[in-house]
Amino acid sequence: MKGRFPRRRLIQTVAANLVRLVFGSAARNWGRNIGSTAPALGSMTLLLVMSGLVGLTGFALHNLEVVQAREASLLHVYLRDDAADPDVVALWNRLSSDPRIAGVTYVSKADALARAHTIPGLPELANASESNPFPASLDVQVKSINDVGAIDAVARTERVVDPLNPTSYDRGAYQRIQAILFGIAVAGFAFVGLLGFVAVTVTMNSIKAAILSRRDEITIMQLVGAPRWMVRGPFVVEGAITGALAGIVAGAVTFGLAMSGIAAGSQSFTQFAPGVTTTVAAVAAAIVIGAGLGLGSGSSLLSMRRHMES
Amino acid sequence: MRPLETERPPIVELIGVSRAYGLRHAVDAIDLALHPGELTLLVGPSGAGKTTLLKLINREIRPTGGEVWVAGIAAHRLKSSHVAELRRRVGVVFQDYKLLPRLNALENVAFGLQVGDLRISDAEARDRSLDALEAVGLGDRGGAFPHQLSGGQQQRVAIARAVVAQPPLLIADEPTGNLDQETAWEIMDLFEDIAAWGTAVLVATHNVEIVTRLKRRVVTLVDGRLVRDQPAGKTGRMAWLASS
C-alpha cells in the first residue's frame, strides 16, 4: 500500500507533462500557425467531402449492382392474355423442374398492374389506358445469371408465351451496367487519389513551414535529450488537429447531404442510391473524421521524415 | 584527498576519431580524453574542426572513423532513436544562447529539464530551475523574458539550462563570442565553478586572453588535427593564431 501513492503521483506527473508539452504545445502552435495551416485545412476538407460523397456513391453503386444482378437473373416470361390455365400450369411445372431454376412465381395481370404503380413512370402509363395493359407473367428466378439466356431461349418458344414481347431478357444488359459501374469506380478513385495527393502535399508543406519556424525550439529539445517521439509528437498532433477539423467539417457535410437526400424521400433517390440510410450516412461521416485524423497525422509524419533531422 | 583528474575514468574518450566530408577531413585521427572536474579549452583557427568535434561528442554527427565514448555510451555506433539518452548526459551552451523568446528565464530552464525527463513535476522543475538560476547569479531574474536580459544574462540562463539536470559533461561552442571581455570573464568564472562541482567542461573559444590567462588545459586543433594538448597550469605558444 505504501508504494502505491508515489507511483500514482508519478503517473499523474508524466501525464500532466505529456498533455502540456505535447498536446498543449501542439494546440498553441496550431493556433499561432493558422495562417500557414489554412490552405492545408481547406484542401483536406475538400478532399474529405469528396471522399465521403464518393464513398457513399460507391456504396450505393455496389448495392445497385447487387440489385441489378438479382433483377438480371429474374426472367419475366410474359403470357398471352388468352393463354389457357392448364397450359400455363404445364409451363410452370416444366420450368419449376429445371435444375437451373431456383423458383417460379405466377404474377396475374392484376398483380402486374399493382406492381407497375410502384415503379417510377409506369403509373402514368397505367392510368392512360382504360384496360390493364400489363400482361400476366411467370417470374423465373434463375440460379446463375449465366443461364438466363438458355432459359429465355426455352421459354420464348412456348405456345402460351406472348409472341410479340415474350420475355424481359436483355442480352448484355447486366454486363453493360457492370462496365458503367466499373468506369465510375475507376474515375472516382482517380479523382480522390488526385485530391489526396494535393491534400497530403499541402499538409506536408504546412508542417514543413511549422518545423522551420520552430527550428530553435526543436534544436533545444533535441539537445536537452528530449526523446524523438516527444520532439515529433507536437507536429503529429498539429497535423491531427488539422485533419480532425477538416474531418469534422467534411463529415458534417457528407452526413448533411446524405440526410437531405433521405429526408427528401424521393423515389429516384431510393432507386439510384439503394441502401443509403441514416446509419450508413453516420458511419460514412465517422469514417471521414477518422480519415481526416489519419491523413493529417500521416502527412505530418511524412513531412518530419523529410524535413526534421534526428 | 581528491584524486588526480587523470586517475578518474574519463567522461569523454575519443579514439582515433575522424570525420570526413567527401575528401576533406574536418577532424582527423583525434585522440582525446576529458575527465570529471576538468575544464578544457578547445582552440584553433576557424575551420580547424572545433565545432565538428563538439558535434561528434554530442552525437549530432557520426564519425567516419574511430570511437567516441561519452559517459560510458558508444556515441559512434549509437542509433538515432537512442541519441536522447546520450544528450541527457551532456549540457550544451551556444554562442547565440538559443533561448525560447516566449518563455521567461525560469521557464526556459524548466523546459530544458522537463522535456528531457517527463517524470519531473512542475514544482520540482521550478525548484531546481530556481537553484540553477541562483547558481549562475540570476536568482532574482527568473520572471524576465530573454529580450529583457543582457547578452551575458541570457548566456547565464543558457548555462543554467545546460546544467540544471546535472550532466557529467558540459560543452560550449564559443560561449563568449557575443559578449564583451568583462562579461566573458564572468561566464568563464561560471564554467570554472561548474568544473569545480565535478563536471567535465569543454569550451571551444577564439578568445586569446581567456586562453592565455586562465591557465587551464588547452587542446589545439589545426586543419582537423590535434596539434597540441597543453596541460593545465602552463602557458604555451598560440601558433594557431597566425592562421586564424
Residues of B in contact with A230 (CB under 8 A): 115, 118
pLDDT of residue B233: 73
Query: Does A222 contact chain B (CB < 8 Å)?
Result: yes
Nearest to A222 among B87, B114, B121 (CB): B87
Average pLDDT over residues B97-116: 90
Choice among A17-31, B9-23, B139-153, B227-241 with the minimum mean pLDDT: B227-241
Q: Where are the beta strands (DSSP E) in B121-206?
A: 169-173, 200-204
Pick among A220, A228, A231, A232 to test the B interface (most B CBs inside 10 A):
A220
Write the CB contacts of B124 (distance below 8 Å, at least 6 apart in sequence): none
pLDDT of residue A109: 86
Q: How many CB pairs under 8 A join A and B?
A: 68
pLDDT of residue B1: 40
Tell me the three state secondary structure of residue B42. strand
Beta bridge partners of B170: B91, B201
Shortest distance between the Cα of B175 and any Cα of chain A, in A, equals: 16
Write the CB contacts of B82 (distance below 8 Å, at least 6 apart in sequence): none
- Taking an 8 Å cut-off on Cβ atoms, the answer to whether B120 and A16 are in contact is no
ipTM above 0.85, yes or no: no
Full DSSP string of chain A? -TTHHHHHHHHHHHHHHHIIIIIIHHHHHHHHTHHHHHHHHHHHHHHHHHHHHHHHHHHHHHHHHHHHHHHHTEEEEEBPTT--HHHHHHHHHHHHT-TTEEEEEEE-HHHHHHHHTTSTTHHHHHHHSSS--PPPEEEEEESSGGGHHHHHHHHTTSTTB-SSS-B---TTHHHHHHHHHHHHHHHHHHHHHHHHHHHHHHHHHHHHHHHHHTHHHHHHHHHTT--HHHHHHHHHHHHHHHHHHHHHHHHHHHHHHHHHHHHHT-HHHHHHSTT--HHHHHHHHHHHHHHHHHHHHHHHHHHHHHH---
Interface residues of B toward A, Cβ cutoff 8 Å, are 58, 80-81, 83-90, 92, 98, 100, 111-122, 161, 165
Strands of the sheet containing B12-21, edge to edge, are: B24-34, B12-21, B65-70, B73-74
pLDDT of residue B6: 52
- Taking an 8 Å cut-off on Cβ atoms, the answer to whether B88 and A224 are in contact is yes
Query: Does A216 contact chain B (CB < 8 Å)?
Result: yes
- Cβ contact B104:B143 at 8 Å: yes
pLDDT of residue A1: 46
> In A, residues 144-183, which contact B (CB 8 Å cutoff)?
none
Question: B28 pLDDT band (50/70/90 cuts)?
Answer: very high
Among chain A residues, the shortest Cα distance to B91 is held by: A224
Nearest to B118 among A18, A219, A224 (CB): A18
Nearest to B115 among A13, A216, A230 (CB): A230
pLDDT of residue A266: 59
Q: In 10 A of CB A113, how many CB atoms? A: 17
- Cβ contact B65:B235 at 8 Å: no
Nearest to A220 among B98, B120, B122 (CB): B98
pLDDT of residue A106: 92
Tell me the three state secondary structure of residue B153. helix
Cα–Cα distance, A169 to B239 (Å, whole number): 102
- Taking an 8 Å cut-off on Cβ atoms, the answer to whether B119 and A10 are in contact is yes
| Gyration radius of chain B's alpha carbons | 18
Residues of B in contact with A223 (CB under 8 A): 58, 87, 92, 98
Q: What are phi and psi of B96, to 5 degrees?
A: -100, 20
In the predicted model, is pLDDT for residue B75 greater than 90?
yes
Nearest to A225 among B84, B111, B120 (CB): B84
Cα–Cα distance, A51 to A46 (Å, whole number): 8
Cα–Cα distance, B103 to B143 (Å, whole number): 9
| Each residue's pLDDT tens digit, B197-233 | 999 999 999 888 888 888 899 999 999 999 999 888 7
pLDDT of residue A223: 84
- Cβ contact B37:B234 at 8 Å: no
**Based on the number of CB atoms within 10 Å of its own CB, is B171 exposed (0-12), middle (13-18) or buried (19 or more)?**
buried
In the predicted model, is pLDDT for residue B2 greater than 50?
no
The mean pLDDT value of chain B amounts to 90
Pick among A21, A29, A224, A231 to test the B interface (most B CBs inside 10 A):
A224
Q: What are phi and psi of A38, to 5 degrees?
A: -55, -45
What's CA A259's distance to the chain center, in Å? 14
- Taking an 8 Å cut-off on Cβ atoms, the answer to whether B122 and A222 are in contact is no
Nearest to A225 among B80, B87, B98 (CB): B87
Does the reported pTM lie above 0.90? no
Tens of pLDDT along chain A (310 residues) come to: 445 567 788 888 888 888 888 888 888 888 888 887 888 888 889 888 988 888 888 888 888 777 777 778 888 999 998 888 899 999 999 999 999 999 999 998 888 888 877 776 667 776 777 777 888 999 999 888 888 888 988 888 888 898 888 888 877 776 777 788 788 888 888 887 887 788 788 878 877 887 887 788 888 888 888 888 888 888 889 889 999 999 999 999 999 988 887 777 655 656 666 778 889 889 999 999 999 999 888 888 888 888 776 5
- Taking an 8 Å cut-off on Cβ atoms, the answer to whether A224 and B80 are in contact is no
Among chain A residues, the shortest Cα distance to B89 is held by: A225
Cα–Cα distance, A189 to B173 (Å, whole number): 54
Shortest distance between the Cα of B84 and any Cα of chain A, in A, equals: 4
